[in-house]
Structure 1
């Protein structure tokens, strides 16, 4: 796991000082070393978190052709978990290796298969390939978007980096929030690639690669954007995998293999998260079970997040699973004021407005992991999206039923939200209003309309100028790129596609995932996002994933012997953290007043100051505890957006010190290469 960056210039050799400044901004992603490659057209930078082949895997890395010249160069963030098998295949094809690193496998795989290598990778990656033979710079991102990759154009240059703040190391890159990106967040909870919340900055979409050709005298232009993978599901009417027992056995086999691969392919110790739910119980349980009988194996280390407020705490279930597995267990107990204190750091790392404070406790948890001496942690992320675990999927099932049998749908509502103090079934009129709102039979977004409608209310806080600049509905933008074959999917599959396109890459794996982990130099690994697991899940019937109202039904059957009954059958409880109360219940930190002053609000230009002041007064009056769901989201959205403006737009975070010496430097003076203009 690392940070990558680079510059492509068609006019002159990239400035090494710029690359080093970019590396300095990314130092937290790779504190174990750094380096850069530079020639007459391209500079590639890398900060390293050494996990595989800690001695030999220095980057950027080049591969030698038959004449001994290094024609293909790679800078890479992530892991290719099947690199051992790929290396064996490539050796059989005549390739020679000088390291054990997965980075070198990428170099040889590109030489052998070109962009076809991405289909062969089982992993999580963001990478850049500079192919001097063709003059092409290629940026690629893994299937689900686990690892981030951003780019922008400035002054005849193309710049790319793992984080946006590294792009801002170039003073020629404008720093400005993009109303269209903010608008997406305030409806969908995140932007959808290639959109970002920064004007002029784009991101490589998950499962895609972009090709930038070198044309002498011209700035780099993305000539192609190619999708090599997208979520897929069996069409209705096709012959699905209907045998429940066989599917459970197949899921167990694939998930065990995926977990083993992510646990064993590391030259440093690997730990695991325990959340108290079934997903992390399965991954940690598989690791512990697979290690039984290994006489030299040390006990598995597990880490948990707890809350001082019982409403959010799952400590009892975490302790139960840790005891059953016999792990060395540590946890961090988060108080409301802890969230407020760390929130500016959280937003700076997230590089996005947030609608919930959930990323903050995850940042504190990864800090504990780092302090305990680990660099790698296996987690349960992705299970809900792949196997049908979210309430939004069950809500979609009820809404679809409501179009056919309202009485049956009303009865089914009682099975939802058992964890809520004010469940909708206790207020039938509200339930009918919520589930029956904006209801159209056959709507491909029938599952997501309530969330999008309720979240988009936040847009009323935006200034008239910002709202006028947002000329397209974020929901319509997503539906416009929904694949044509989705018309033949069942409603759950369409809901899963929407979640995998919006919330998963943009929030779960980004704001709450990669950014909170890498903020403390920790790599997360996610067995449920293994392509073989996802492929199987896309082929099983919907009622194997949600049986009645029982979510992740197939997963529970597959691991019934491994997970305690208390966890296996506990009601689904989503991860939540205190929101407004974190900033007002136990005292308000000074930064809240700083970023929400009228002057700060007018400088950012996003929110109407008079509405923000009313919201703040309400939060102060109730100490943050009397706010409803919408006002909680409004408050967090305003605070995080204002922090984002303060930290990344007007602040000096991009001017971090260069990485410490020595750097690994490959600085070449080469003849100009590339295509001449037509």
Structure 2
């Protein structure tokens, strides 16, 4: 796991390229504290910061292939590098290092872009072809590892994180109002858009080539589902056995490292399955890590203890109270590089810090199982809504919503008519491809009540939902409704929010690599073909995963009601120990300067949050969204205003300039 930066100038002038590359590389020191190097060529520059995990002594980058034609800077891991090395050795390739980087580089030299089909990994890389003067960039299928780019004065720049691009001289930071509106509707921007005007994100499963004739982007993999009614009809026992074999192998590959590998343990099914599988492969025992909370509605420590005790792991916990969330929230926004609507990333930031303080660099997590195997409440909710919509006047069917959300105590007091209206039980909208997500988008969009008049004017003629509909593949309407909902989660929210704000960025902010067995592309493709009832049986989520886990995970974990991962929201900033930045950035003066939100409306919201009368998703999401946007403006406009390095740049082996 590392940080990568670079540029392609095509013969155009770049002032002090070695200095610029040094400053860009230095901005990603947290992604790779174990070393850094840069190479500058006539038309291209590449930089790298290294978190050494595989090939500890000989995996330094940027790295040239044996033939001297290609140079790579690579962030991530190729988990099947051992098998690929043997394949290449059979073709006569000789290796100089034990790193997966060299395997990737030599595979690209041998097969070109076709190499991407062979890779099992989480990656973002750039390869410079010195002969053809062409730069190739690619990103993994699920979007685990980030990659951003921009054009300035006809020069192409790229980096693992946007903060490195802000080292480019003269760059101006402006928030994109459309991206902000997308966040306040969908929870994240629609890639390739980012909150930064002029800076884009390479979408997952895409490869880009940049040369003197411009840039071209192509998809090398797509998430696809069979037509409704044509899903796999295989024997459930056979399918379960095949899934167990795939999951075990996905975990085995992600245990490969030249350093110890630990595991997160939330107390839920997904992380418990990962830890249970990993502990059988960890020769010296497994270290597990959990977040605990003081509030009972968020805390899962009882289940974490049960699982850790059952597996016999060396278990570590960090308690993340409300003051702790507020104290690290600025760090969270620096890491996410985007406004967010939830505080959930903050405890994960603190958890990865615990991992690093314990001397670990790598952890497995259960992320991705809910998207791939239909675990979220939203999938069950959509099924109930469709069921109710077939009899919209039913007084009985809406009571199913109470079963879905036992932890929403206010729901039990509501009438069937209220619940039907709240959850959008409307037969007229059944044909909308976004039907499954209507309640979420509706409740999230309510936060726009706090927009300033100028921001409302900027986005008046824009509809984020319409753009999302336009991004859907042609085959979408032919899929089963469950698969349609899964596509929305896996293709948009997973890379745009979960993996970005809660995955890679929270871990790498503390120089820790997260690995995700459930996001092995073989598992994703396998699950996509399954009959929907194997994933969501009646209202039992992840049904087939439960079959795989039975006997390996205690029944207490296996049969517990699903508890979504949440953290205290606006109340985290209401304590007497709240940091000064909260009052400063939410003041009328600061809000008037940013001109994105209505100071009068926000002031009322702040008072409700501070005195404990805020309630519901809208108040909490709006408060966190406004505060995180204000932090974003404060942090990144200030960061772009200076070109001074955060720390003196010194390459591990010395800058190499190849003109």
Residue aligning to 2:608: 618
Q: By how many angstroms is 1:654 displaced?
A: 6.7
Residue aligning to 1:461: 450
Distance 2:611 2:335 in 1: 31
Residue aligning to 1:210: 208
Question: Alpha carbons of 1:64 and 1:388: their partners in 2 closer, same or farther (altered >3 Å)?
Answer: same
Q: What secondary structure is seen at the aligned counterpart in 1 of 2:128? A: strand
Could you tell me which of 437, 453, 477 is aligned with 1:448? Answer: 437
Residue 276 (1) aligns with residue 267 (2)? yes
Residue aligning to 2:195: 197
Residue 412 (1) aligns with residue 413 (2)? no
Residue aligning to 1:327: 313
- CA deviation profile, 1:270-314 (whole Å, cap 9, x unmatched): 0000000000000000111344xxxxx211110001001122100
Q: What secondary structure is seen at the aligned counterpart in 2 of 1:7? A: strand
Instruction: Please tell me whether the aligned partners of residues 413 and 425 of structure 1 are also in contact (alpha carbons under 8 angstroms).
Output: no
Residue aligning to 2:532: 542
Deviates more, 1:466-475 or 1:423-432: 423-432
Residue aligning to 1:236: 228
Residue aligning to 1:593: 583
Question: Alpha carbons of 1:654 and 1:323: their partners in 2 closer, same or farther (altered >3 Å)?
Answer: farther
- CA deviation profile, 1:216-249 (whole Å, cap 9, x unmatched): xxxxx32x11011121112113251432221111
Distance 1:211 1:174 in 2: 26
Residue aligning to 2:128: 130
Distance 2:411 2:239 in 1: 33
Residue aligning to 2:512: 522
Residue aligning to 1:557: 547
1:83-482 equivalence runs, <5 A: 83-215=81-213, 221-222=214-215, 224-238=216-230, 240-263=232-255, 265-291=256-282, 297-406=283-392, 407=394, 409-423=397-411, 426-436=414-424, 439=427, 440-470=429-459, 471-482=461-472
Q: By how many angstroms is 1:430 displaced?
A: 2.5
Instruction: Please tell me whether the aligned partners of residues 265 and 272 of structure 2 are also in contact (alpha carbons under 8 angstroms).
Output: yes
Residue aligning to 1:7: 7
Deviates more, 1:582-591 or 1:158-167: 582-591
Instruction: Please tell me whether the aligned partners of residues 574 and 611 of structure 2 are also in contact (alpha carbons under 8 angstroms).
Output: no
1:71-82 equivalence runs, <5 A: 71-82=69-80
Deviates more, 1:460-469 or 1:576-585: 460-469
Residue aligning to 1:573: 563
Distance 2:553 2:327 in 1: 36
Instruction: Please tell me whether the aligned partners of residues 231 and 531 of structure 2 are also in contact (alpha carbons under 8 angstroms).
Output: no
Residue aligning to 1:673: none
- CA deviation profile, 1:399-441 (whole Å, cap 9, x unmatched): 2222323446424323201233333675423311122356512
Q: What secondary structure is seen at the aligned counterpart in 2 of 1:128? A: strand
Instruction: Please tell me whether the aligned partners of residues 39 and 658 of structure 2 are also in contact (alpha carbons under 8 angstroms).
Output: no
Residue 496 (1) aligns with residue 486 (2)? yes
Residue aligning to 1:49: 51
Question: Alpha carbons of 1:71 and 1:579: their partners in 2 closer, same or farther (altered >3 Å)?
Answer: same
- CA deviation profile, 1:65-101 (whole Å, cap 9, x unmatched): 2xxxx21111011000011111111121122211111
Distance 1:535 1:391 in 2: 22
Instruction: Please tell me whether the aligned partners of residues 5 and 44 of structure 1 are also in contact (alpha carbons under 8 angstroms).
Output: yes
Q: What secondary structure is seen at the aligned counterpart in 1 of 2:390? A: coil
Q: By how many angstroms is 1:60 displaced?
A: 0.5
Q: By how many angstroms is 1:4 displaced?
A: 0.6
Instruction: Please tell me whether the aligned partners of residues 25 and 164 of structure 2 are also in contact (alpha carbons under 8 angstroms).
Output: yes
- CA deviation profile, 1:494-523 (whole Å, cap 9, x unmatched): 000001122100111011111110010000
Question: Alpha carbons of 1:580 and 1:184: their partners in 2 closer, same or farther (altered >3 Å)?
Answer: same
Instruction: Please tell me whether the aligned partners of residues 13 and 40 of structure 1 are also in contact (alpha carbons under 8 angstroms).
Output: no
Deviates more, 1:479-488 or 1:460-469: 460-469
Deviates more, 1:505-514 or 1:612-621: 612-621
Deviates more, 1:186-195 or 1:463-472: 463-472
TM-score, normalised on structure 2? Answer: 0.96
Distance 2:391 2:645 in 1: 60
Distance 2:280 2:327 in 1: 39
Question: Alpha carbons of 1:254 and 1:425: their partners in 2 closer, same or farther (altered >3 Å)?
Answer: farther
Distance 2:289 2:231 in 1: 42
- CA deviation profile, 1:38-82 (whole Å, cap 9, x unmatched): 1111100100000000111000111132xxxx2111101100001
Q: What secondary structure is seen at the aligned counterpart in 1 of 2:56? A: coil
Distance 1:242 1:414 in 2: 34
Distance 2:225 2:286 in 1: 35
Distance 2:229 2:39 in 1: 53
TM-score, normalised on structure 1? Answer: 0.93
Gaps of 5+ in 2: none
Question: Alpha carbons of 1:618 and 1:64: their partners in 2 closer, same or farther (altered >3 Å)?
Answer: same
Deviates more, 1:532-541 or 1:13-22: 13-22
Distance 1:581 1:493 in 2: 36
Residue aligning to 2:618: 630
Q: What secondary structure is seen at the aligned counterpart in 1 of 2:218? A: strand
Question: Alpha carbons of 1:244 and 1:40: their partners in 2 closer, same or farther (altered >3 Å)?
Answer: same
Q: What secondary structure is seen at the aligned counterpart in 2 of 1:331? A: strand
Question: Alpha carbons of 1:149 and 1:424: their partners in 2 closer, same or farther (altered >3 Å)?
Answer: farther
Question: Alpha carbons of 1:379 and 1:593: their partners in 2 closer, same or farther (altered >3 Å)?
Answer: same
Gaps of 5+ in 1: 216-220, 292-296, 671-678
Instruction: Please tell me whether the aligned partners of residues 144 and 504 of structure 2 are also in contact (alpha carbons under 8 angstroms).
Output: yes
Instruction: Please tell me whether the aligned partners of residues 34 and 48 of structure 1 are also in contact (alpha carbons under 8 angstroms).
Output: yes
Q: By how many angstroms is 1:614 displaced?
A: 1.6
Question: Alpha carbons of 1:365 and 1:653: their partners in 2 closer, same or farther (altered >3 Å)?
Answer: farther
Distance 1:211 1:83 in 2: 24
Query: Matched residue pairs, number?
Result: 652
Q: What secondary structure is seen at the aligned counterpart in 2 of 1:232? A: coil
Q: What secondary structure is seen at the aligned counterpart in 2 of 1:64? A: coil
Instruction: Please tell me whether the aligned partners of residues 36 and 664 of structure 1 are also in contact (alpha carbons under 8 angstroms).
Output: no
RMSD of the TM alignment (CA)? 1.7
Q: By how many angstroms is 1:385 displaced?
A: 0.2
Q: By how many angstroms is 1:658 displaced?
A: 4.3
